Structure formats: structure tokens, C-alpha cells
């Protein structure tokens, strides 16, 4: 017999939940950077302005060491106090101006980054809306949430803090190198001798730490997935006393994240100390050789002082470039995870000539339908039946037999492997997916309510509905009775998932939402399973009125509720083994009668 998890609940177990494909390592860093740039270049004006401010602030900073040399040689040594004060005032103005332009360039890049991230996050969320349930079946919700939050935030940090700094650092290094050669070419060559050592060290560390950053982002996504699952299933964990086991598993996942994060941050953390040592070594060489040159009158004290200041300006941006490359390692790892989702090809798409449908008569036909969530594990086998317009079709059978899968395929949540499904004589693939689903109303066994008022949750079935129509739908679903006793009645705020309401109340609101949608075909997946018998009788009367003139499909375990169905389809192990009216099936004395009598006499 088939397991229940693949096909017994559209909302929580639509397919092989929990299976995740292999996590792939970085494939195309250059391609990822190019795609990020494609988002950023939409804000060219702000970026150009920021670059101009970088150039101005760099030029101002380059003037400082030169003026320091002048003030020492021309004013301090000759003891010219007035000239010293004039140059000091000029230095103060330069520092103030450089600070202002540095703030402006940072401000603009933060705006560019945040706008870029907003667009990217919007595109990612829009992509989620186009993907089929099969995609979500294979990934944990927490991992997907991590891509929208942590991975994109990692990219945001890199863009706001790093992009302009890289340009600024390259510009500063180039400007300082030119200035040093203009002051003294021999000392400039001494400064340049340590650059190959910095490049080799940085390259080695960046290469090794790259894979660790990818592991860290993957493990962070796995941790988020586990936490989301544990919080959602907290009640089940408590009921079965699995707190200790859950904590132990969390500790293992958390430890994996600690190890990968430690490896990434520790290895990349070597860059700072190593480069500082190399920088200090270079500075010592410059001071030592400069001192000898001063003694031999090959350079002045002012030139050496300017050169020491320039050397600090020279090594600092090189160190920054090394650190920024580490930041980019994390950002690119996150960006690739985001673009992995963006590149996911939807397995359900509209045909080029797919048509909009205004309404359905409600004739539904399954012809030799076969389906499996995973290759080699068939769920439905050669299912064939026909429902005439306005008929009530009941699907019964043991848990995991494939009842909900039939509904999934009718809604085109998945595409069949073979066979045909037709509505009003046309294959469902001939209709636009959005149009098809809009004309089919569904009430699930597992209800879901959004954060907001009760009025808003019911109106979700038809957004343009008036308040009066919402209230009428609630009355028809027998929800009006408990709503009017709430503190704010229809304006009562409920939390996401509706945890402040009972399961039965949530189901009543879900039924009211489907009633308001006024769809041509109605699907009820154990729609009254969480409601007491008295309320169920009232709801059945409302649903009977709703079903008039509409084709309806009812999945039911309580067979007393579907005795008046036009057809009852008995599905067992993915096969349609019996069908007919309630009386006809009882007369056959087959599997249906066994099910019916087992409920009747237990």
C-alpha cells in the first residue's frame, strides 16, 4: 500500500517532503558578478556620482602627505610659525572636505545597494510564485527563507560596504604609487617589493576559504530549515515527548554550522594579521633606507615623512582589498544560491495558445491517468472516470490510496505522466493555469489563515467582494455564529495560521472563503473533519446549496456524509477498483461495503 505522505494533504505533504537535491558548489563566479552588475547598472546616475565623490576624496587624501612634507621642510625646520599655521589650516580644510565627500559616496552606495537588493528580493519572491508544488516538495521552507533573508543580506553587506571601497582602494593605490615615484623613485621601488608577497598570500587564503563560505551558507540554510520545521511542529514534538531528540538533532546541525563558519572565518581571518606583518615589514624597510638616504643628503626629512605617510596610504587599501575579497566570497556564495532559484525552470507552464476560460460547465473526465511523484514509484495507475456537469463525485479509500492526488492533478498542481484529464471536453493543459484554478474552489483538510482580520481572510476568496457578501458567505458556512461573539466580530485580528482560533473555527472560515469564491467546480478535501456533528449538519446544508448546479468532488473518510453522491469512486493502492452510487456499491458487497460497515459498527 502506498505511503500517506506523498498524496494525502495538498498543504503539507503533497509529495516526497523532506527530500532535497545535492547542494552544488560555486559554478560561475564571473557570471554571478555580471548578473549582480546587471541589477546595479539600473542606478547609473547614483553610481557615477558616487565615483566622482570617490575621485575627489582620493585626490584630497593624496594632497595630505605632500603638504606634510612641505610643512616640515619649508616651515617647521626653518621655524616659520605663520607659514606653519597657514598650511595646518589648509590641511584641516582638506580633511573636512575629504570626510564630507567620503560620507556622500557611502550614502549613495548604501542607497544603490538597498534599491538593488529590494529589486532582487522582489524578483526572487515573484519567482517563488511561478514554481510548482513539486519544487517546494523537494526543499525545506527554512532553506528557501534563508535565501530570501540571509543570502540576500550577505550580498547587501558586500554591495553597500565593498563595491565603492574596491574602486576607492584601487584608485588610492594607483595615485599613491604615482606620487611616491614623483617624490623618490628608489623608495617607491622599496615599497613595491612587498606587493607580490601580499598578492600571493591573499590568493592562497581566498582560494582555500571560498569553499568554506559556500559550506557556511549551505549549513545556515539547513539550520533555518530545521528551526522552521521544529517551530511549526512544536505541538507534535511535545505530544510525543521528542524534545530531547529534537534538541540533540538541532545541536548536530548547529555544530555543523559552527564548524563551517569557523573554517570560513578563521582561514579568512589570517589575512589581516599576515598583511599587517608584511605592511610593517615594508614600512620598516622604507624608514630604514630613508634614514640612510637622509644622512647621505639624498632626501630631506620632509620627503621621508611624506613617504612614510604615503606608504601607509599605499598599504591600507591593499589590506582593504584583501578583506573585501573575503566579504565577496560570502556574498557570491549567497548570490549563487539566490540565482539558483531564479534559474529554476518551472515544470508547469502555459502553452503558447493556452486559453482563458470565463466559466466551466463542469464536465470532468480522467482517461487512463498515470502519475508518480518520483520515478519508479507510481501513485495513480490507469485512473478513468467521467463526471457530468452538476454531479457530486465522492472519492473514498484508505489513507495514502491516492484520493488527494486525483485532486492535485485536476487543479494541475502537477502534470500527469500519461493519459488525459479534460474539463468540458478540452485537456486541462489547453487552459491557462491561473484561469483554470480560478474556476475551481477548494477547501482543504489542513486550513491556513493569513495574518489580518477575519473579514480579510474570508475576502481572500474574492477580493472585490463587498462586506455584505462576506457576511452572507460566513452565514452559509455556519461561521457567522461564532464570529459575532468575538470581541471585534469580523474585524477581529488573527495571527498567521489562525492559532488563536480552534481547528473547527478555522475550517469554517476556510469554507466561507470557498463559498465566496463562487467557483464553477468545487473540491472538498475532508472539509468537515474537524467540526462537531451538529455544526457539520448545518454546513452540509450550506454546501448542498452551494453545490447546486456545480460539479463537486468530495474526499471523505466518514462515508455517511457522501451517501447522496451521484458517483462514489473507490481508490485503493492507486487504482480505481469500484465506482457507482452508494446503494449500488453496497449491493456489490466489495471493498466499499467493508469500509462502510467498519465505520457503521465500530
- What are the Cα distances from residue 353, in Å, to 175, 356, 571? 61, 10, 34
* 70-92 residue pLDDT tens: 888 777 887 878 888 888 888 88
195-200 contacts at long range (C-beta below 8 A, 24 or more positions apart): 195/318, 197/278, 198/275, 198/278, 198/318, 198/322
First-residue to last-residue Cα distance in the chain = 23
> How much is the pLDDT for 11?
35
Q: What pLDDT band is residue 8 in, cutting at 50, 70 and 90?
A: very low
> How much is the pLDDT for 454?
83
d(CA 490, CA 475): 12
> How much is the pLDDT for 292?
77
> How much is the pLDDT for 93?
92
DSSP assigned state of 461: T
Task: Determine the 3-state secondary structure of 26 from DSSP.
Answer: coil
pTM higher than 0.75, yes or no?
no
| Residue 131, CA atoms < 13 Å, CB-side half-sphere | 20
Q: What pLDDT band is residue 23 in, cutting at 50, 70 and 90?
A: very low
What's the rounded mean pLDDT across residues 219-236? 71
Q: Any idea what the Cα angle at residue 190 is, between residues 186 and 195, rounded to 5°? A: 140
Q: What pLDDT band is residue 170 in, cutting at 50, 70 and 90?
A: confident
- Residue 484 contacts by C-beta under 8 Å, 6 or more apart in sequence? none
On whether the CB atoms of residues 158 and 77 are closer than 8 A, the answer is no
Residue 31 phi/psi, 5-degree rounding, is -65, -40
Nearest to 218 by CA among 269, 142, 153: 142
> How much is the pLDDT for 539?
63
- pLDDT exceeds cutoff 50 at 184: yes
14-18, 267-271, 335-339, 530-534 — which one is most confidently predicted on average? 335-339
- pLDDT exceeds cutoff 70 at 301: yes
| Residue 167, CA atoms < 13 Å, CB-side half-sphere | 19
d(CA 80, CA 71): 9
- pLDDT exceeds cutoff 50 at 601: no
Q: What pLDDT band is residue 541 in, cutting at 50, 70 and 90?
A: low
Name the least confident of 176-180, 264-268, 400-404.
Answer: 264-268
* 112-148 residue pLDDT tens: 888 888 888 888 888 877 777 777 777 766 677 777 7
On whether the CB atoms of residues 276 and 283 are closer than 8 A, the answer is no
Give me the chain's average pLDDT, please: 76
DSSP for 51-101 reads HHHHHHHHHHHHHHHHHHHHIIIIIITTT-HHHHHHHHHHHHHHHHHHHHH
Residues of the chain with pLDDT > 90, as a percent, come to 1
d(CA 80, CA 461): 84
d(CA 27, CA 508): 49
- pLDDT exceeds cutoff 80 at 459: yes
> How much is the pLDDT for 6?
32
d(CA 370, CA 574): 9
Tell me which of 325 and 3 has the higher pLDDT: 325
Class of the CATH domain delimited by 29-342: mainly alpha
Helix (H) or strand (E) holding 418: strand 418-423
Name the least confident of 31-35, 75-79, 143-147, 241-245.
Answer: 241-245
Torsion of CA 197, 202, 204, 206, to 10 degrees: -170
- Residue 260, exposed/middle/buried by CB under 10 A (0-12, 13-18, 19+)? buried
Q: What pLDDT band is residue 256 in, cutting at 50, 70 and 90?
A: confident
Helices (H), 162-242: 163-183, 185-192, 195-232, 234-239
What's the rounded mean pLDDT across residues 3-16? 34
Tell me which of 485 and 211 has the higher pLDDT: 485
- pLDDT exceeds cutoff 60 at 240: no
Tell me which of 293 and 552 has the higher pLDDT: 552
On whether the CB atoms of residues 286 and 190 are closer than 8 A, the answer is yes
Neighbouring-strand partners of residue 380: 371
What's the rounded mean pLDDT across residues 496-522? 76
What's the rounded mean pLDDT across residues 394-416? 83
Amino acid at each position: 500500500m502506498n505511503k500517506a505522505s506523498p498524496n494525502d494533504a495538498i498543504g503539507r505533504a503533497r509529495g516526497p517532503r523532506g527530500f532535497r537535491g545535492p547542494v552544488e558548489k560555486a559554478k560561475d563566479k564571473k557570471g554571478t558578478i555580471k548578473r549582480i552588475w546587471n541589477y546595479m547598472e539600473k542606478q547609473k546616475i547614483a553610481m557615477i556620482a558616487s565615483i566622482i565623490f570617490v575621485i575627489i576624496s582620493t585626490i584630497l587624501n593624496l594632497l595630505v602627505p605632500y603638504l606634510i612634507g612641505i610643512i616640515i621642510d619649508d616651515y617647521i625646520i626653518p621655524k616659520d610659525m605663520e607659514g606653519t599655521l597657514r598650511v595646518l589650516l589648509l590641511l584641516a580644510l582638506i580633511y573636512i572636505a575629504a570626510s564630507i565627500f567620503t560620507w556622500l559616496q557611502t550614502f549613495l552606495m548604501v542607497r544603490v545597494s538597498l534599491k538593488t537588493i529590494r529589486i532582487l528580493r522582489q524578483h526572487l519572491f515573484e519567482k517563488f510564485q511561478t514554481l510548482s508544488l513539486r519544487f517546494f516538495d523537494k526543499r525545506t521552507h527554512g532553506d528557501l527563507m534563508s535565501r530570501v533573508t540571509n543570502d540576500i543580506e550577505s550580498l547587501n553587506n558586500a554591495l553597500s560596504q565593498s563595491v565603492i571601497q574596491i574602486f576607492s582602494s584601487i584608485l588610492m593605490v594607483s595615485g599613491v604609487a604615482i606620487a611616491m615615484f614623483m617624490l623618490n623613485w628608489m623608495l617607491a621601488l622599496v615599497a613595491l617589493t612587498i606587493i607580490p608577497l601580499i598578492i600571493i598570500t591573499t590568493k592562497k587564503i581566498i582560494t582555500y576559504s571560498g569553499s568554506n563560505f559556500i559550506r557556511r551558507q549551505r549549513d545556515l540554510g539547513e539550520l533555518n530549515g530545521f528551526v522552521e520545521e521544529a517551530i511549526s511542529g512544536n505541538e507534535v514534538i511535545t505530544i510525543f515527548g521528542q524534545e530531547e531528540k529534537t534538541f540533540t538533532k538541532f545541536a548536530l546541525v548547529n555544530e555543523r554550522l559552527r564548524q563551517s563558519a569557523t573554517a570560513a572565518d578563521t582561514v579568512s581571518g589570517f589575512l589581516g594579521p599576515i598583511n599587517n606583518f608584511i605592511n610593517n615589514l615594508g614600512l620598516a624597510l622604507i624608514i630604514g633606507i630613508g634614514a640612510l638616504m637622509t644622512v647621505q643628503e639624498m632626501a630631506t626629512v620632509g620627503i621621508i615623512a611624506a613617504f612614510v605617510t604615503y606608504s601607509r596610504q599605499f598599504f591600507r587599501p591593499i589590506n582593504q582589498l584583501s578583506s573585501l575579497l573575503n566579504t565577496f566570497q560570502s556574498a557570491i556564495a549567497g548570490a549563487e544560491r539566490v540565482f539558483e532559484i531564479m534559474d529554476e525552470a518551472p515544470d508547469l507552464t502555459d502553452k503558447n495558445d493556452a486559453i482563458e476560460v470565463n466559466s466551466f460547465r463542469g464536465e470532468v473526465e480522467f482517461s487512463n491517468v498515470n502519475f508518480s511523484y518520483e520515478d519508479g514509484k507510481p501513485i495513480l495507475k490507469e485512473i478513468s472516470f467521467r463526471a457530468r456537469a452538476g454531479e457530486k463525485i465522492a472519492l473514498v479509500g484508505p489513507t495514502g490510496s491516492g484520493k488527494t492526488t486525483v485532486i492535485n492533478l485536476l487543479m494541475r498542481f502537477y502534470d500527469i505522466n500519461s493519459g488525459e484529464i479534460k474539463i468540458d471536453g478540452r485537456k486541462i493543459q489547453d487552459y491557462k493555469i491561473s484561469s483554470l484554478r480560478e474556476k475551481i474552489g477548494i477547501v482543504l483538510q489542513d486550513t491556513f489563515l493569513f495574518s489580518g482580520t477575519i473579514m480579510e481572510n474570508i475576502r481572500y476568496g474574492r477580493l472585490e467582494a463587498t462586506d455584505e457578501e462576506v457576511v452572507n458567505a460566513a452565514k452559509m458556512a455556519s461561521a457567522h455564529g461564532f464570529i459575532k461573539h468575538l470581541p471585534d466580530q469580523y474585524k477581529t485580528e488573527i495571527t498567521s495560521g489562525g492559532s488563536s482560533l480552534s481547528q473547527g473555527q478555522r475550517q469554517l472560515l476556510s469554507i466561507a472563503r470557498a463559498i465566496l469564491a463562487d467557483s464553477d467546480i468545487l473540491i472538498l478535501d475532508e472539509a468537515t473533519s474537524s467540526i462537531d456533528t451538529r455544526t457539520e449538519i448545518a454546513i452540509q446544508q450550506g454546501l448542498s446549496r452551494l453545490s447546486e448546479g456545480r460539479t463537486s468532488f468530495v474526499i471523505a473518510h466518514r462515508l455517511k456524509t457522501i451517501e447522496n453522491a451521484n458517483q462514489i469512486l473507490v481508490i485503493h493502492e492507486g487504482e480505481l477498483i469500484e465506482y457507482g452510487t452508494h446503494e449500488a456499491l453496497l449491493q456489490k458487497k466489495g471493498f466499499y461495503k467493508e469500509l462502510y460497515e467498519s465505520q457503521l459498527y465500530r
